[in-house]
Amino acid sequence: MKNNTVNPHQDDIAWQAALKTGKEQMGNLEVNLRFLEETDCFKADHRTLEVGCGIGTVVHWLSQKGVKAFGGDISETAIEYGRQKYPGLPLEVESAEKLNRKDSEFDAVLSFDVMEHLHHIDKHLQEVGRVLKPNGFYLFQTPNKYSNALFETVRSRSLQWKRYHPSLHTPRQLKKRLLKHSFTVRFVKMNPVTPFFLKKLQRVPLLAALVKRIPFQRLPLCLQTNLYVIARKQMDLKHP
């Protein structure tokens, strides 16, 4: 029987390999932080949870700004490393599909490069909705299925990406799924070109040269490399 959950053992192996080479970030941290700054959804007393926080760099960044930030990740390796790097930072081992948090505990939930790895997206969104306060925000990023499926196929010359990105969404699919879970949806176009992004394209040098010239924020959603989303939990009728 196929195991349709994220494998924490595989995640630990990935983090162990990355940290051994000095790599502390799995995603485009520079753009992710820029996105959070542009959303302006945080107040100093807000309680915020990052799902899939890795070693906790974003959680630390928010804490430095006075936000009451917490982090969770399925990888024990990443969490242990983060606790040592950022002493006292509230980081916990937990699954994105089963959050160890109270109902209506947070003003905002974040995730970056998480949703595409999950097999149970609806369960994840139910959990996010459960821990958010009415009118709370779910701010996240996930690769665009249109561009990512093509890029990963070219890069690996195979369809093996389907194993590690089983839940890619097009903009339309993502909006439909979020609306089903009672979230309003707003997409934010971000320019992804950073040294981290260009390094990912080093196997396709012509593409790397091309993307430097692309005005990403003028392109339609279907041509974005990543989907950055501000989803807001609609007001619960029980909480007017």
pLDDT at 155: 66
What's residue 135's pLDDT? 94
| pLDDT score at 17 | 94
How do the domains of the chain map onto residue ranges? 8-233
pLDDT at 205: 80
Tell me the residue ranges of DSSP E strands in the chain. Answer: 47-51, 68-73, 91-93, 106-112, 132-143, 183-188, 226-233
Q: What is the pLDDT of residue 157?
A: 65
Q: What is the pTM of this model?
A: 0.90
Under-50 pLDDT residues of the chain: 1-5, 237-240
Residue 4: per-residue pLDDT: 41
Burial group, residue 211, by CB count within 10 angstroms (0-12, 13-18, 19+): middle
3-state secondary structure of 32: helix
SS3 category, 182: coil
pLDDT at 20: 95
* Annotation: CATH topology of 8-233: Rossmann fold (3.40.50)
What is the pLDDT at residue 166? 85
Residue 162 has a pLDDT of: 65
